Chain A
Amino acid sequence: MDQFTLNLIVVGATFALYIGIAIWARAGSTAEFYAAGRGVNPIMNGMATGADWMSAASFISMAGIIALAPAGGYTQSAFLMGWTGGYVLLALLLAPYLRKFGKFTVPEFIGDRFYSGAARLVAVICLIVISVTYVIGQMRGVGVTFSRFLEVSTDMGLYIGAAIVFAYAVLGGMKGITYTQVAQYVVLIVAYTIPAIFISLNLTGAFLPQLGLIGGYAPQGGDISMLQKLDQVVTELGFTAYTADTTNMFNMVLFTMSLMIGTAGLPHVIIRFFTVPKVADARSSAGWALVFIALLYTVAPAVGSMARLNLTTTFWPNAVAGNALDGDAIALADIESKPELSWINTWKETGLLQYEDLNGDGKIQYYNDKNEAVAAIATERGWTGNEVTKIDNDIMVLANPEIASLPGWVIALVAAGGLAAALSTAAGLLLAISSAISHDLIKGSINPNISEKGELLAARISMAAAIVVATYLGLNPPGFAAQVVALAFGLAAATIFPALMMGIFSKRINKEGAIAGMLAGLVFTAVYIFLYLGWFFIPGTNVYENTAANHFFGISPLSIGTVGAVVNFGVAYVISSMTKEPPHEVVELVESIRIPKGAGAATGH
């Protein structure tokens, strides 16, 4: 059976499963549509949260972002700590109290706690900007994965993906999404770990990739550790060592913190904790979510570092047992003829990997031509530049099964895993958007007297409309889509997280303080990002060039969310202490969400 048929069968089978779940888990009430009837087992919810959280970027790109970072893999540890450490904040500071509050959306809490329709509206706007930004990337991810593995155009892939999400999200709402996410989690984690285990066995002899990361390098009998070998090989070729220290510690701290509090402030993650039966379940469910996320996140640096080592020794065969430059670079004739190297041309066709024999010597030299010491050797040997002209981050995960010569079904599984990661995150985001529209805007302000049936219909129509808009934006992505991700995290960190935290931990923060704080955090963060990336991301309108030398105190636009959050806390505190205290019933609300007892009763409100 050829690879294409195999991909089609595996991806088709997973899609049939998702549709089956959609038919089984139809939503009959708004409580089911928004919060899966609050009957989800905490472990199941943890799995669903894992799939909800881990996007196409986590699955396909993260290992490569770490492995190929120009400043070394260590500097990208911010993603590993940031995107996991946020769950500690969720479990300790937000999830149990918001579950006790017992309503359906994040803006609803902000509106009730700060007794203000305006505060709710500001939260809805932040939620929609954050979630729409994210969903564009997911829709692109679906299209791109389809086009790589299933020989259809990116646009066609996007239509198919949108149709699948439409089926289970419109029918089942949160209930359908939850149970498909559980299935999608299983697909994506199996697809991620099987190639990782094989590459770890090959390179280090360790079954667990986490142990392989700190294991010995097997081809040299384990005398040298895998990480030392990697550092040695890449530095010999003029690249920065994988374990090299950061040159800007302050910025790395702020970036990690932005990712953590941004994670804790993302509405589509928070609402997952509304689906469990009890407050105690919300706490443990955050732990289970992190268990399932950690399964991928602790493997990612192993996959990245080992794939980088594998790739480098492929281009320098002598590096396997000795020094790269003591031997010749890979020969063009070998790439054409040897079956174990056929993956190089397979991925060259997709454009993810590109090489060119610049000096015409029949060999492909891969090295850092910007490094003076290596450039001197290059001139001596008649090389005219790095001949591997492009290595895309995504190749570290996507090409792994072929590099390790794994069977075809593993390759098919990686395709299904990439699609599962993108579809599950898209569905979670779409639910956050549609519930903000039907519950916060329609039921909350436009038509408060809408019936239960009417609201459920409105929720389904909002969901359908959100999918159509997301599909349109996926087909015609704004040129600034990539930069907006920085804005999404920065905004979640600077607006939603501080507002929720102060709403729970302070009885004194009032309406005036909360609104002023959110707006200050929003404007401060957005303006700092716009200064470097252009006003509203319009190219050429940036005030400063986006380079480290130009950043205030070395803080990059990616890291500014932390400062925005501090601004939010500060402004809210000062304005609140100058204006009058919140009314008595709001103080009672805060006291009641701090006590777990009675959360069940709020379910049927």
Chain B
Amino acid sequence: MADKSSSHAYWQANVRIILISLAIWFICSFGMGIILRPALKGISVGGADLGFWMAQNGSIYVFLVLIFAYAARMNKLDREHGVEE
């Protein structure tokens, strides 16, 4: 196993990636889909407003991209710190 300081740095980097991902997760679902919907009324997506579309379809696409981006970023981080399997 990698030494203590290296594994600490690995974990810090992981937590940072998680926090950024969760910020995007929150903004695209709770933010644009619910809380900011009234503010986004002016932007229309195929007959409805952006907030409506984010709540019914858009946020799900963002979730998908987020998970695969996280998996790819972590694979890279695992290799950089030599902790991959």
Contacts and interface: CB of A to CB of B under 8 A. Distances in A.
Contacts of A596: 78, 83-85
Contacts of A73: 56
Interface in A67-125: 73-74, 77, 80-81, 84-85, 87-88, 91-93, 96
A284 interface: yes
Nearest to B77: A596
Q: Could you say which interface size class chain B belongs to?
A: 35 or more
B11 A214 contact: no
Given A253-B34, A284-B71, A290-B64, A77 B56 contact: yes
Interface string B52-68: 11011101110110111
B17 to A, nearest CB: 8
Chain B interface main SS type: helix
A252 interface: yes
A507 B55 CA distance: 36
A172 interface: no
A225 interface: yes
Contacts of A77: 33-34, 52, 55-56
Q: Which of A88, A215, A283 has the most CB of B within 10 A?
A: A88
B57 A213 contact: yes
A370 B30 CA distance: 32
A599 interface: yes
Interface stretch (A159-167, A294-302, A485-493, A524-532): A294-302
A348 interface: no
B4 to A, nearest CB: 9
Contact of B29 (A74, A225, A245, A256): A256
B59 A595 contact: no
B85 A280 contact: yes
Interface in B6-57: 7, 10-11, 14-15, 18, 21-22, 25, 29-30, 33-35, 37-38, 45-49, 52-53, 55-57
A400 to B, nearest CB: 18
Given A77-B55, A81-B60, A85-B25, A215 B46 contact: yes
A279 B85 contact: yes
B53 to A, nearest CB: 7
B71 A91 contact: yes
Nearest to B18: A92
Nearest to B65: A287
B7 A595 contact: yes
A252 B34 contact: yes
Contact of A287 (B1, B2, B38, B67): B67
Given A596-B83, A596-B85, 17 more contacts: A81-B29, A81-B55, A84-B63, A91-B70, A92-B22, A96-B74, A210-B57, A213-B46, A213-B57, A225-B46, A225-B47, A283-B71, A287-B68, A594-B7, A595-B2, A595-B10, A597-B85
